[in-house]
Amino acid sequence: MVQKIWGGRFQKDMDEIVERFNASIRFDYRLYAQDIEGSMAHCRMLAKQKIISHEEASQILDALAEIKREMEGAESSFEEGHEDIHTLVEKTLVEKIGTLGEKLHTGRSRNDQVSLDIRMYVRKAIGRVLDLIKEMQKSLISLAEKNMGLMLPGYTHLQRAQPVLLAHHLLAYFEMTKRDRQRFQENLKRVNILPLGSAALAGSTFNLDREMVAKELGFDAISDNSMDAVSDRDFVLEFLFSSSVLMMHLSRLSEELVIWSSQEFGFIDLPDAFCTGSSIMPQKKNPDLLELIRGKTGRVYGHLMAFLTTMKGLPLTYNKDMQEDKEALFDTFDTVEDCLVVITRLIKEISFNGETMKGATEEGYLVATDLADYLVMKGGTFRQAHETVGKIILFAINQKKELHQLTLKEMKSFSGQIDKDVYEWLEPAICIKRRNSPGGTGPEMVKKSLQKAKEEIES
């Protein structure tokens, strides 16, 4: 059994089962790079402040660099005997340079040390997620440009509502993921605060230069309250929340692609490389990867709710409950990363069935609102026009006709204001062209939106 760094107070060794239950090394080992980087900055600061000598700092720094190389090269095992990554690094350091290694912990606690490591990890994770969202957005823009001439029904309540351009539909997800990027960017501002120097909870008696450490590690500021710095994980919760919203958006897109790929819709063909087959039905081509993204959304939600529940009743300051932050954080990041990579690659390979989509806009009375607008243009109120069009549609349903198939005489029986120019208002493509108000689905507006999206990505 590895000797504990806190063992002086205890007369007996920890129970073996309790030791396994208490240890976090099996998952927090992935913080080794952040732990060593933070330790090196702390060491240089100790030397600058003459708390340790420059010669001592040089030996410690060389040993830490060697430990990092060994861990990167898998030369060092993250064995269960160590309680956590912090004690593993310290014990390995002492094994290399003797008791001099024990000086490294001067002026700090595992409490501010782990908060530092987690902040550095979340900072790196946010950077990776931002890059991946950007790649997904590029794929959406490219797909929208490639299929600029295609139209399909827009839906409410999963019922055909109005015709829209496919590019307009795809750019809706660009806007959603743009807000996702903004959320992570805001999260980063609150992550990038240095907690080191807060020690266990009350600060340190040593003359630490916290600003120096913050500058070396790329933090924007230092924490203002030592108790808050070691005892809160709201920045982790914010990452979990931002990830949950992002996954919700990915899930909605996945759901639409699943629906569109069904025989009932037939709007898209999914690439074989992103589908699976059935063990019993030879004809099947299943959108499993999209379904997995949809399913993994609940997994990320679960981490958010679980850790919110963990934190809700904790008194100040540090409590062991907070060890639960790491598995939730790590698994959420892994899940988000995988889902973004998969869906970005899939988007690039989607092909659309333009004729099927166009045909869907010509059935189901999608131009009804335009007919109502036409009557308003002729001098009526919208409510009167709405009622009149409703009656026309009921008549068309009974006649098993679409609006454009009705004769002028049939339509005039409902309103004398209707004339032969009405048919210009009953063509889905023309209806789309009329919607050139800002944010609308009109071709000119969509082209402007595409250009704006490309400029935002490039900037």
Radius of gyration for the alpha carbons in the chain, expressed in angstroms and rounded: 31
Confidence of residue 6 (pLDDT cuts 50, 70, 90): very low
Catalytic member of 157, 279, 437, 459: 157
Q: 152: which strand partners?
A: 164
Specify the pLDDT at position 24: 73
Rounded-to-integer distance, Cα 282 and Cα 269, Å: 18
Find out whether 287 and 343 touch, Cβ atoms under 8 Å.
Answer: no
Q: Give DSSP secondary structure letters for 359-406.
A: HHHTSS-TTHHHHHHHHHHTT--HHHHHHHHHHHHHHHHHHT--GGGS
Rounded-to-integer distance, Cα 365 and Cα 144, Å: 26
Specify the pLDDT at position 19: 64
Distance of CA 21 to the CA centre of its chain: 31
Rounded-to-integer distance, Cα 259 and Cα 359, Å: 17
Rounded-to-integer distance, Cα 81 and Cα 64, Å: 20
Percent residues over pLDDT 70 in the chain: 94
Q: How far is CA 17 from CA 5, 77, 86, 323, in A?
A: 19, 21, 21, 18
Find out whether 52 and 69 touch, Cβ atoms under 8 Å.
Answer: no
Token pair in block for residue 215: 């500058």
| Residue 169 among the catalytic residues | no
Rounded-to-integer distance, Cα 239 and Cα 335, Å: 13
CA 289, 294, 296: angle at the middle one, nearest 5? 90
Rounded-to-integer distance, Cα 441 and Cα 447, Å: 10
Find out whether 404 and 426 touch, Cβ atoms under 8 Å.
Answer: yes
Specify the pLDDT at position 26: 84
Token pair in block for residue 317: 């300051």
Q: Which one-letter DSSP state was computed for residue 49?
A: T
In the predicted model, what is the mean pLDDT of residues 30-45? 97
Assess whether pLDDT exceeds 90 at residue 189. yes
In the predicted model, what is the mean pLDDT of residues 154-179? 98
Assess whether pLDDT exceeds 70 at residue 78. no
Assess whether pLDDT exceeds 70 at residue 76. no
| Residue 105 among the catalytic residues | no
Find out whether 147 and 81 touch, Cβ atoms under 8 Å.
Answer: no
* b/e per residue 280-294 (b: at least 16 CB within 10 A): eeeeeeebebbeebb
More confident residue, 151 or 274: 151
Distance of CA 324 to the CA centre of its chain: 21
Which of these, 168, 170, 147, lies nearest to 439 by C-alpha position?
Answer: 168
In the predicted model, what is the mean pLDDT of residues 115-131? 98
Token pair in block for residue 82: 């160590």
Rounded-to-integer distance, Cα 108 and Cα 32, Å: 17
pTM: 0.93
Specify the pLDDT at position 27: 85
Token pair in block for residue 332: 């959420």
159-165 and 268-269: which strand pairing?
unpaired
In the predicted model, what is the mean pLDDT of residues 443-459? 96
Rounded-to-integer distance, Cα 335 and Cα 373, Å: 47
Q: 213: which strand partners?
A: none
Assess whether pLDDT exceeds 60 at residue 8. no
Among the listed ranges 6-10, 87-91, 129-133, 346-350, which one has the minimum average pLDDT value? Answer: 6-10
DSSP three-state, residue 149:
coil
Assess whether pLDDT exceeds 60 at residue 290. yes
Specify the pLDDT at position 321: 94
Rounded-to-integer distance, Cα 415 and Cα 389, Å: 9
Largest Cα separation within the chain, whole Å, is 100
Specify the pLDDT at position 164: 98
Count of Cβ atoms closer than 10 Å to residue 334 Cβ: 13
In the predicted model, what is the mean pLDDT of residues 346-350? 96
More confident residue, 165 or 84: 165
Catalytic member of 53, 58, 262, 278: 278
Which of these, 100, 46, 57, lies nearest to 213 by C-alpha position?
Answer: 46
Specify the pLDDT at position 2: 55
Percent residues over pLDDT 90 in the chain: 89
Residues 212-256 have pLDDT tens digits of: 999 999 999 999 999 999 999 999 999 999 999 999 999 999 999
Average predicted confidence (pLDDT) for the chain: 94
Go through the domains of the chain in sequence order and give each one's CATH number.
Answer: 7-106 (1.10.275.10), 111-198+224-359 (1.20.200.10), 363-452 (1.10.40.30)
